[in-house]
Amino acid sequence: MTFKISFTLLSLLPCLYAYKIDASCSGNDASLMKTAAEQAFDMASQAYDALTVTGMRDSNVDRLVELLFCREGQTAAELDTSALINSFLGIRQMRNENADPGNNPDEVVIYCNMDRLEERDDGWYDTESGVALADPPDHQLQECRDKKDRTLMYTWVPENDQEQPIGPGQVTICPWFLQYSRQLKYKTFKDISSKYLKALFQIPLSTTKLGPFEPIDTVNLLDKVLLHEFTHTVAGGRTDDVNWPDNEMFGKAYGWTSCKELAKSGQVGAEFNADTLALFGSGVRLLKQEPPSYITDDGRITKNNPAAKRAVPSYFEYPTSTAPSRAFETFITVIKERRAMATAFSS
C-alpha cells in the first residue's frame, strides 16, 4: 500500500527537465546561446499560458490555432490541444541549467560545433556516447558540416535498438549559422528595434521560382530556431519535420504557407510538426508585445487586430510587391537579403 501511494505521488510530480550549454560554446558564443535559449523558453511559456488560460481564451490565440493546426472547417474549440500544451510545458520545464545531465533523456545539450560527430562508411557516430545516429538524414548533417545554408541546426536523441531514448537530446547549431548569427546586428527577437522591424516588413518580398516566403518567416532568429529544435526533444514531445511535397525547396512543412497548408489538409497532425509549433510561439509572442502585433492570414505582420470590427492603418502592413520576381537559391538567402536591406534602411 505504501509503495502504491509513493508511486502515485511521484507520478504527479513534474518531470525534471533541464538543459546544458556544452563547452564547445565558449565565451561570447555561450552567452549568445544562453540568451537565445532563455528567449525560446519564454516563447514556450507564453504559448503554454495562452493555451491554458482560465476562462475564455483570447480570440486571436484561437485564430492562430485555427490557422496553424485546424483542418479545413474545424474550429479551435474542436481541436484537441493536449499535444501542443504538453510540448510547450515540457520546454518550459527545461529551463533549469544542469552542468552534468549524464544519460538522462529528459535533458538537452546545446553544441556549437560538430567535433564529436564522426562520419564513417556505415553512417554517422557520436563519439561521446558511442551511439550511431538512428536513421540519420545524411544530407542534413553534410549540409551542416559543409556550410550549406539550408540546414541551420540539427537535433538528435540517442536511442537503443528498441528506439528508446538513452541519453540527452543533442541540439547542434551548424557552424555556418553560428558564424552568421555572430555577425547579426539583431541576433534574437528582443534585439530588434521598432525602427528595424518597421523597415523589415516594408521591404517588398521577392517571389522565388519555388514560391513566396512570408514576412513572419524572416523573423527566423536564433530563439525561434531553438524553439523549433527543442520541440524535437523528449521534453518537447519528439515532434517531426513533416514531409510536405508542395514545399519544393525543402520537401518539408517549413514556413508559414506550408504549415497552413499542412493543417488545412488534415493529412497529418500539424501539432506534431516542429515549425508549426515554433510559428505559433512566434505569433503568441507578437500578441504579447505592447502594443500587440498580429500575423495576417497570408503571413504579414500588422498592428491591425484581425478580430476587431474596424481596422486602423498600420505601418506594419506589408504592401503588395510589383517588383520583378527574383530567384533565390535557398530560403536562408531570402532571409539574409531582407535583413541586410532592413538594417541598411534603419541605420
For the chain, which domains are there?
Answer: 14-346 (3.40.390.10)
Taking only the tens place, the pLDDT of each residue in 271-304 is 999 999 999 999 999 999 888 989 999 888 888 8
Above 80 in pLDDT, residue 26? yes
> Distance between CA atoms of 146 and 140, rounded to whole angstroms?
10
Q: How much is the pLDDT for 319?
A: 37
Comparing 153 with 267, the larger pLDDT belongs to: 153
Please give the C-alpha separations between residue 304 and each of 77, 193, 235, 282, 307, in angstroms, as whole numbers. 24, 19, 35, 17, 9
Relative orientation angle of helices 28-52 and 82-93, to the nearest 10 degrees: 140
> Do the Cβ atoms of 227 and 278 come closer than 8 Å?
yes
**In the chain, % of residues over pLDDT 90:** 41
Q: How much is the pLDDT for 160?
A: 85
Element (H, E) at 110: strand 107-111
Q: Per mean pLDDT, which range of 216-220, 254-258, 287-291, 306-310 is the poorest?
A: 306-310
Q: How much is the pLDDT for 12?
A: 42
Please give the C-alpha separations between residue 303 and each of 3, 66, 259, 278, in angstroms, as whole numbers. 56, 20, 23, 21
Q: How much is the pLDDT for 281?
A: 97
Taking only the tens place, the pLDDT of each residue in 91-106 is 999 998 888 888 899 9
Residue 182's Cβ-count burial label (10 Å; 0-12, 13-18, 19+) is: exposed
Q: How many residues does the chain have?
A: 347
Above 80 in pLDDT, residue 329? no
- Residue 299 phi, psi dihedral angles, 5° rounding: 90, 10
Above 60 in pLDDT, residue 51? yes
Taking only the tens place, the pLDDT of each residue in 146-199 is 766 667 899 989 888 888 998 999 999 988 888 888 876 555 556 555 555 555
The three-point CA angle 179-239-42 to 5° equals 60
* Confidence bin at 207 (pLDDT 50/70/90): very low
Comparing 267 with 150, the larger pLDDT belongs to: 267
> Distance between CA atoms of 141 and 152, rounded to whole angstroms?
10
